[in-house]
Amino acid sequence: MTGGFFAVRSYMTNEPLCFSRETRIIVANVDCVVIGMSENETLERYELIVPKDEDGTRLDLFVAGELSVSRSRVQKLIEGGAVVSPGVKKIRAALRVQDGQTFVVTLPQARPSRIEPQKVPFDVVYEDSHVIVVNKPAGVVVHPGAGRPDNTLVNGLMERFPEIGKIGDAVRPGIVHRLDVGTSGLMVVARSDEAFAGLTKAFAEHEVLKEYLGLGVGALRAKEGTIDAPIGRDPHNRLKMCVTWDGREAVTDYTVLWTRARYNLIKVRLHTGRTHQIRVHMRALGCSLDGDTLYGPKDPAQHILKDRVFLHSWHLGFAHPVTGEWLEFRAPLPQELVEALRVPLAQAEER
């Protein structure tokens, strides 16, 4: 380590660094009845094997963490008979799972249909005839997909800017990049074909400035550095990504702004745009983000935030795809993240 540079590769073996469980997905014939399924849904079936460190965890908490769905949804699936286990006659949400035990979960997945304009909460930070910059709140999915057919950012954009319906992909009109559902902050949306082409090229060539603020939990070896570690789909769980040698290039800069006890407020700059990149890279450093039950602790009691990840896209910059003018935008932390910072700030500063 020199000059503050930290390369994950120097600490890795040739094995994929995956933070996952024994999870297999089977899209096949389903032999159980799922109550409440509609005609516009398909079924996906997951086989989950309980690892040693989850022994004794409540079933609903275990399944929710593995499949990245809410506990309330898991509880409804259990009530509807969509969670089964060999040798277990009565499946209950409060059941304590055991090391090596297998559970099969059947999830209905909605097929995206025509995009309906809907009122969805988000702020417009900037707009002209070619681009729109929005501040997306946490909890809003960017575009319709499996499990979320409507009430997405795209539905809201269609309600305010119906002309984007013909820009780019039919299900993701105007969308040139995304934020996770649990991430808030700035996004740019194309409003014209010319802007869509220009922004798509800018993101592909890594010409867009993207900075985030996150609250990491865990010790870091260096206060700043660059994580250069490829990211690919987790071979055991399609809902997760992992650091793996055969993944796509992923480069992340980070700077610790301050530390209190085990908490680190971190500024992150992305040079690439892989799915879950910041969450995967910070977990690789042993400093997962608060509120992240997919890559961090599954038990919500171990997080300050219970319904989102502490990750906010606060700084966005790009060359206007038509005029060439460089534009930069900043979005302050939303109130729920400001309130969450009271917990670490109440603790003694590290010296």
**Maximum pairwise Cα distance, the chain:** 66
Whole-number Å distance between alpha carbons of 72 and 313: 28
Q: Is 53 a catalytic residue?
A: no
Whole-number Å distance between alpha carbons of 302 and 58: 15
Choose, from 180, 228, 290, 292, the residue flagged as catalytic.
180
Neighbouring CB atoms inside 10 A of 46's CB total 20
Nearest partner of 308 among 322, 296, 326, judged by Cα: 296
Angle CA(192)–CA(196)–CA(200) in degrees, nearest 5? 170
* Burial grade of 251 (CB within 10 A; 0-12, 13-18, 19 or more): middle
- The partner residues of 313 in beta bridges, in order of sequence, read 185, 212
Task: Assign residue 36 a region (left: φ > 0; alpha: ψ between -120 and 50; beta: otherwise).
Answer: left
Q: What is the DSSP string of 166-201?
A: GSB-SSSBTBSS---TT-EEEEEEE-SHHHHHHHHH
Name the E strands within the chain.
22-26, 41-49, 83-84, 102-110, 123-127, 131-136, 184-190, 209-217, 224-228, 231-233, 241-243, 251-260, 263-270, 288-289, 311-319, 326-330
* Burial grade of 323 (CB within 10 A; 0-12, 13-18, 19 or more): exposed
What amino acid positions are annotated as catalytic residues? 180
